[in-house]
Amino acid sequence: MYTQDSHIATVEEAKAFFHHVVFDLDINFHPDDDFRTYVNCESGKRVMDDDQADLYNRLMDEAFDVFDDEDAVYETAYNILNEKLKQ
């Protein structure tokens, strides 16, 4: 679980964060999207409250910072989402 004390400082930590979002939280996310925008398809309710969304948005910003190439962020997220879809 990620907390206000959590930070992403390496590519491996960014990959783990993406994996957490996709597999643990079951969110079909895009790296550019604000975590406030995600809703549960069945209930129509937001997946996160403002505080949690702020945390995840910050962590996503940190994830962008650790990759050498911005395209690698999207490729990594896509690969993890694709892994989930193949299950």
Domain span at residue 64 reads 11-85
Count other C-beta atoms under 10 Å from residue 71's C-beta. 9
Report yes or no on 4 lying in a domain: no
Judged against a pLDDT cut of 90, whether residue 72 lies above it is answered with yes
Judged against a pLDDT cut of 90, whether residue 1 lies above it is answered with no
Distances (CA, A) of 71 to 28, 45, 63, 75: 18, 31, 12, 6
The pTM for the full model equals 0.94
Question: How many domains does the chain contain in total?
Answer: 1
Report yes or no on 21 lying in a domain: yes
Report yes or no on 1 lying in a domain: no
Report yes or no on 69 lying in a domain: yes
Report yes or no on 3 lying in a domain: no
Report yes or no on 28 lying in a domain: yes
pLDDT band (50, 70, 90) for residue 47: very high
Q: What share of the chain is helix, strand, coil (3-state, %, to 5)?
A: 55, 0, 40
Report yes or no on 33 lying in a domain: yes
Report yes or no on 5 lying in a domain: no
- Res 71: pLDDT: 96
pLDDT mean across residues, the chain = 96
Judged against a pLDDT cut of 90, whether residue 63 lies above it is answered with yes
Count other C-beta atoms under 10 Å from residue 19's C-beta. 14
